[in-house]
Structure 1
């Protein structure tokens, strides 16, 4: 097998999950290699995604590890069998890899739940709102870099409008709705865009109002992507240092609970839409 260059986050996840299965089985890489009739280096390279792995090899390794979670094995095998390059690959030389990973994660998600305190979620932003945000990035982006990022962000939004649209829930603090990035007209157009977005049956927006009695949050923007099986869920945090990816079971459970608590203190969808209408009138 030839070394794989720049594997995507989704393909890297295969190696991560195979290592977890091996460790749960209490096997070393050397023991697995002897059982499989190969070398320890090859097992290590598969787990590190330095080499590709076939769907058949995934199933063989899962059998060696005694994995009885057939839906997980099937999902990993399907991931290994994927050969189609996503649209985001055209941006590989122009954007940071984490942004490509984000688009890939959204594309393959079964459903998506996000939370934002200061910014409107990316999948719900207008181009003008996105441009105002990118102009404030530190260090400053050059004009063509801004346009690449806007183009990429708008193309990501296709998951909400495709033939099988992604079920999408956005929990947004009122603070984000009141920020006037780009000025009054851009802000008003952005809020109107949100009102239009929730007309789609797959899109839900719930607002946490300023007068709420509690405010459970980690302080970061959270994107929780539900995979075809829960073990393949992924969280991406939008931090000051860039995007951080989380896929460990305990951490996934933490962010599910955080999002659950945020939804409990948020307004219902109808009340959220009413609040957005009121903010439009106030601008």
Structure 2
């Protein structure tokens, strides 16, 4: 879908209609529409021809699009196709290709860092209530997503968690205590930067700014993920990316350093 979006943007920037692009490529307008809708793939040869017709001279960007077009990875998430909403699969695929990941969490511990019991409590609170088999599928899917921070070459992960997310008991004391211990363990990893924003921080006006920022192979191919009632929303316009890059750094700047954050989490765990 991201490949389709970028090809459409290139065509529009060139001032061409889909019919004109089809004529340049020698195909039907319907085929261009299908490519730009993610309903049909495109070969490396045709992609490079399109980029040439669109006067795109960014060789690194074109090579990155070719990489998308020729990638035949059938990831672990495909086993959930038809069983979970498409956004779950899109998020797992986005994670798989991430160059880095940044996250700000306000009310819940981020999904990648959740224990199974914590995830079960979160999914169990859904309205309408999930059927038992769908609940188990979502928990299994969330657990499988952790591969990106557990594999031999993990994705660099920066996460800022508000104290509210650490204190809210999605289940009982034992689940919360185990979750905090899990965070402390993960925070020791070299590829994970975990920082905390305490309640007593003055003037923190971004308390509702939950966000996930996923780095692409090039900055212009980064993606922001926002949660919505109907599922995840993916944002990728340059202005949006710039805004969320700035937002993350501002939130990070007012958070506790990593060592102080670990001490903070340890103190909360002792209260339980």
Q: TM-score range by the shorter chain?
A: over 0.9
Gaps of 5+ in 2: none
1:134 to 117, 123, 130: 123
Mark the CA change 1:132 to 1:210 in structure 2 (over 3 Å): closer, same or farther. same
Structure 1 residues 44-88: Cα deviation after superposition (integer angstroms, max 9, x where no partner): 221112221112221111111111111111111011101121100
Measure how far apart 1:15 and its partner are: 1.0
When normalised by structure 1's length, the TM-score is: 0.93
* Ranges in structure 1 where 5+ consecutive residues have no aligned partner: 1-11
Q: 1:18 deviation in Å?
A: 0.5
Cα distance in 1, alignment partners of residues 100 and 61 from structure 2: 17
Q: Find the aligned partners of 1:88 and 1:239 in 2 and give their Cα distance.
A: 21
Normalized against structure 2, the TM-score is what? 0.96
Q: Paired residue for 2:57, among 68, 75, 79?
A: 68
Structure 1 moving runs of 4+ over 6 Å: none
Q: Equivalents in 1 of 2:192, 2:112: separation in Å?
A: 11
Equivalent residue in structure 1 for 2:196, among 182, 207, 215: 207
Aligned to 1:91: 80
The separation in 2 between residues aligned to 1:214 and 1:76, in whole angstroms, is 42
User: How far apart, in 2, do the equivalents of 1:214 and 1:23 lie?
Assistant: 42
Counterpart in 2 of 1:196? 185
Pairing of 1:114-153 with structure 2 (within 5 A): 114-153=103-142
Residues 273 and 126 of structure 1, relative CA distance in 2, 3 Å threshold: same
Residues 38-117 of structure 1 aligned to structure 2 (within 5 Å): 38-117=27-106
Rounded to whole Å, the distance in 2 between the matches of 1:240 and 1:267 is: 31
Q: How far 1:104 sits from its partner (Å)?
A: 0.7
More displaced 10-residue stretch of structure 1: 142-151 or 123-132: 142-151
Q: Which stretch shifts more, 122-131 or 232-241?
A: 232-241
Partner of 1:260 in structure 2?
249
Q: Is the 8 A contact 1:214 1:265 kept in 2?
A: no
Shift of 1:216: 4.3
Q: Is the 8 A contact 1:171 1:205 kept in 2?
A: yes
Q: CA RMSD in A?
A: 1.3
Q: Distance in 2 between matches of 1:202 and 1:231?
A: 23
Deviation (angstroms), 1:114: 0.7
Asked whether the 8 Å contact 2:106–2:207 carries over to 1, the reply is: no
2:211 matched residue in structure 1: 222
